[in-house]
Amino acid sequence: MTGTTNVTAFSSPSFSLHGVGVSSGIAIGHAHLVSNALLEVVHYQLPQHLIEDEIQRFADAVATVKHDLEHIHESLRKNAPAEISAFINTHLMMLADKSLSETPKDIIRKELCNAEWAIKLQMDEVVEQFEQIEDDYLRERKQDVIQVVERVIKVLLGHPHQLSSEQQTSALQQERKLILVAHDISPADAIQFKQHEFAAFITDVGGVTSHTAILARSLNIPSIVALQKARDLIHDGELIIVDGKQGVVIVNPDKSILTEYKLRQEQWELEQQKLQRIKSTKAITLDGENIELFANIEVPEDVVAAKASGATGIGLYRTEFLFMNRREMPSEEEQFIAYKSVAEAMKGQPVIIRTLDLGADKQLSGESETECANPALGLRAIRYCLSEPQIFHTQLRALLRASAFGQIKILIPMLSALSELRQSKLLLERAKTSLRKENTPFNENISLGGMIEIPAAAINAEAFATELDFLSIGTNDLIQYTLAIDRTDDSVAHLYNPLHPAVLKLISLTIKAANKLGKPVSVCGEMAGEAKLTKLLLGMGLRQFSMHPSHILSVKQQILHSQVNQLAHHAKKILALSDIEKIEPLLTKFYTPIEMRAKARH
């Protein structure tokens, strides 16, 4: 169950909370509540003669937060996940933006109010702008705004922005038994918590694409988000169990439940150790089918984690990060350097780079934002790029230039019509022509692929496969558009199900179309990293998966125990079903008797 909070009573005062598990694992420990400064903000007016002092108090708070973030960045360990540095840089950029650093001063002058209230008012306005964004990943960036503002408010309220010495001593004594409970946790805070090796964290808000979720997966910390009321219902020091895989938090468990979960925890940790043994093993099925396991990345530094996981290529490089949180588009040279660094780091292995996925509702700054009645169906991704040919031309030139330094492939997102693809090809050829005139080297035969994430494209997959070099199935959006469900909306998120018959049929249709024409096809959405779905996808004919690096070994384990001929038979039976309730039980047919006994022990 995801997206909603469900409280289930055990023997009083035990109860459980259900949210969205974003990082697997089991943690058992005592709750450590993290303050939510935003809930403590009150409004009060100031006399005119104190306004300049209040503005200076605000400026000092911003400077303090800037110093803290810079200190955290400088003190990062060399082996810290690349995401952390990027997240902190994002927060520093947001803090430097005038909408957060200067506009609150104007509000203080105009409203004669306290600094806390002024920055909260401004935060609400900025967050509202983010709410209009259709793209799940970019819409989640509103959490970064909230986290930055929360840090400023904590300083204004006089709260410690780091653990006190007393808390640090306590953490050193029982650090692996403490579970952080918060309304939200910023990446900058999370890295400090990681240095204390806390067992896990759970939050009231957040989604599967939030920075906190991404960070949790990269650090391999069991965590659950979207619990809604955890911060209010859980008391400091209470014993809790966090089951990241199931998305369940059990508060004050009784003896039998605690014993059961301690056993599960030991088994999970043992499994994680065993997975490391197959890190260098090739992903080949029992009947000799070679499977490609690629990694999804967001910034060039993510390549470190991708290579460490054993990924044999980059299946999806989201270029949006280069364009986010800035007033100007990145130059061709800046983009070229980023793309080139990834290509060189992968040393000849495939690097599939997705072109810009921004839209009319996703401008570089709130000032340039235009309203869209239904942003999910508006001007985004390739539609946006075709409407802004100069921006697209700049990115295509940068991609082509970088292709001289590795096996770069270009991926076009959100295709719905062949006309969009053909226009994209014309613009790609125009970019090639401009480089030829300059005698700038690039790969003349660079591969061009398309994302299948709109039902219309899946239904017409064979036509797209005919004109493309490869296909990539974006299951996150495909599910959302097929089922007409906003997966970020708590009220309907429980209906977001990758096993819906219509979704499976569209995926199967796409795979068959690509295989028929001999074109590579991959799944790069969350489904690719779900180990329980690996055998189903193999049975449907998928031979290339792209996922977060932390999921690669668990998926590889499933592949090594698979025999695709048998899986194809089971997959055919599932695809013939029209009742979603009958599909999940049939997934057990994909496991051998030995595997079933292993699962039973868990």
**Which residues are the active-site residues?**
211, 524
User: Collapsing DSSP states into helix, strand and coil, what is residue 411?
Assistant: strand
Cα angle value 232/237/241 (rounded, 5°)? 80
242: β partners: 27, 249
Please name which of 185, 157, 165 lies closest in space to residue 64, comparing C-alpha atoms. 157
Compute the CA torsion angle 152, 155, 159, 160 (nearest 10 deg).
Answer: 100
Six token digits for residue 229: 């009321």
Helix/strand/coil (H/E/C) assignment for every residue in 101-160: HCHHHHHHHHHCECHHHHHHHHHHHHHHHHHCCCCHHHHCCHHHHHHHHHHHHHHHHCCC
The single-letter DSSP state of residue 371 is -
Six token digits for residue 173: 């004594």
Sheet of 20-23, strands arranged across:
8-9, 15-18, 248-251, 239-243, 26-33, 178-182, 200-203, 223-225, 20-23
Tokens 């470190």 label which residue?
304
Query: Distance (Å, rounded) from C-alpha 98 to C-alpha 35?
Result: 27
In this structure, are strands 26-33 and 239-243 parallel, antiparallel, or unpaired? antiparallel
Query: Distance (Å, rounded) from C-alpha 212 to C-alpha 34?
Result: 15
Please name which of 391, 301, 306, 407 lies closest in space to residue 353, comparing C-alpha atoms. 407
Instruction: Tell me if 240 sits within 8 A of 249, measured CB to CB.
Output: yes
Query: Distance (Å, rounded) from C-alpha 584 to C-alpha 572?
Result: 14
Please name which of 232, 248, 268 lies closest in space to residue 10, comparing C-alpha atoms. 248
224: β partners: 21, 202
Instruction: Tell me if 410 sits within 8 A of 399, measured CB to CB.
Output: yes
What is the C-alpha end-to-end distance of the chain, expressed in Å?
19
User: Collapsing DSSP states into helix, strand and coil, what is residue 423?
Assistant: helix
Six token digits for residue 156: 């204004």
